[in-house]
Structure 1
Amino acid sequence: MRKSFLLAGGLFLLVVLWLVSGQFGDHDFVDSSVDILGGTAVDEIMTVRGRTITRQPYVSEVVISGRTEAVRSVAIKSQTDGRVDAVLVEKGEFVRKGDVICQLATDDREASLAEARALEAQRELEYRAAQELLDKGHRSKTQAAAARAQLDAARALVARREVELSYAALRAPFDGIIDDRPAEVGDYLQKGHVCAEIIDTDPYLVVGEVSERQVGKIRIGSEGTARLVDGTQVNGWVRYIAQSARADTRTFRIELEVPNPDGTLRDGVTAEIRIPVEKTQAFLLSRASLVLSDDGEVGVRVVENGRVRFYPVHILGDSNNGIWVDGVPEDATLITVGQEFVSEGQAVRVDLEG
Structure 2
Amino acid sequence: MRLIPLVTAIAVSAGLYFLVLQREDLFAFARGEAAAEAAQTDTGTPAEEAEAAPAAEKRVGVVVKRSEARPLDSAVILRGQTQAARQVEVRAETTSTVLSEPLRKGTQVKAGDLLCELDPGTRLAAHQEAQARLLEARARTPEAEAKLEEANARLKEATINLTAAEKLSQEGYASETRLAAARAAERTAVAGIAAAQGGLETSRAGIESALALVASTSKEIDRLRITAPFDGLLESDTAEIGSLMQPGSLCATVIQLDTIKVVGFVPETEVNRVHLGALAGAELANGARVQGEVTFVSRSADPTTRTFEVEITVDNPDLKIRDGQTADIVISAEGTKAHLLPQSALTLNNDGRLGVRIVREDQTAGFVLVSLLRDTAEGVWVSGLPEKADVIVVGQDFVTEGVPVAPTYQEAMQ
**C-alpha displacement of 1:226:** 1.1
Q: Is the 8 Å Cα contact of residues 88 and 253 (structure 2) preserved in structure 1?
A: yes
- Among 276, 279, 283, the alignment partner of 2:332 is 276
Q: Is the 8 Å Cα contact of residues 206 and 257 (structure 1) preserved in structure 2?
A: yes
Match of 1:149 in 2: 205
C-alpha distance in structure 2 between counterparts of 1:234 and 1:276, whole Å:
14
Name the structure with the higher helix share: 2
- Among 236, 245, 260, the alignment partner of 1:180 is 236
Q: Report 1:208-223 matches (<5 A).
A: 208-223=264-279
Q: Does 268-277 or 135-144 show the bigger shift?
A: 135-144
Q: Give the letter aligned to residue 276 of structure 1.
A: S
3-state DSSP of counterpart to 2:90: strand
Q: Does 214-223 or 75-84 show the bigger shift?
A: 214-223
**So what's the TM-score if we normalise by structure 1?**
0.62
- Among 256, 280, 293, the alignment partner of 1:200 is 256
Do residues 111 (structure 1) and 125 (structure 2) align? yes
Q: Does 78-87 or 254-263 show the bigger shift?
A: 254-263
Q: Is the 8 Å Cα contact of residues 292 and 313 (structure 2) preserved in structure 1?
A: yes
3-state DSSP of counterpart to 1:161: helix
- Among 51, 67, 85, the alignment partner of 1:71 is 85
**C-alpha displacement of 1:202:** 2.8
**C-alpha displacement of 1:89:** 2.4
Instruction: Spell out, residue by residue over 1:90-149, the C-alpha distance to the aligned partner (whole angstroms, 9 max, x if none).
Output: 211111111110011011111111111111111111112212332333762111011001
Do residues 258 (structure 1) and 314 (structure 2) align? yes
C-alpha distance in structure 1 between counterparts of 2:104 and 2:144, whole Å:
55
Instruction: Spell out, residue by residue over 1:260-291, the C-alpha distance to the aligned partner (whole angstroms, 9 max, x if none).
Output: 22222211101011101015799xxxxxxx9x
- Among 281, 285, 301, the alignment partner of 1:229 is 285
Structure 2: stretches of 5+ with no match in the other structure: 1-70, 152-191, 346-372, 375-380, 388-410
C-alpha distance in structure 2 between counterparts of 1:239 and 1:128, whole Å:
60
Q: Percent identity?
A: 35
3-state DSSP of counterpart to 2:99: strand
Q: Give the letter aligned to residue 61 of structure 1.
A: A
Task: Report how many residues are paired.
Answer: 247
Match of 1:300 in 2: none
Q: Does 224-233 or 155-164 show the bigger shift?
A: 224-233
**So what's the TM-score if we normalise by structure 2?**
0.54
3-state DSSP of counterpart to 2:235: strand
C-alpha distance in structure 2 between counterparts of 1:88 and 1:162, whole Å:
25
Q: Report 1:306-317 matches (<5 A).
A: none
Instruction: Spell out, residue by residue over 1:14-66, the C-alpha distance to the aligned partner (whole angstroms, 9 max, x if none).
Output: xxxxxxxxxxxxxxxxxxxxxxxxxxxxxxxxxxxxxxxxxxx9851000001
C-alpha distance in structure 1 between counterparts of 2:253 and 2:298, whole Å:
27
Q: Give the letter aligned to residue 134 of structure 2.
A: E
Rg larger in structure: 2
- Among 276, 285, 298, the alignment partner of 1:242 is 298
RMSD: 3.5
**C-alpha displacement of 1:171:** 0.9
Name the structure with the higher strand share: 1
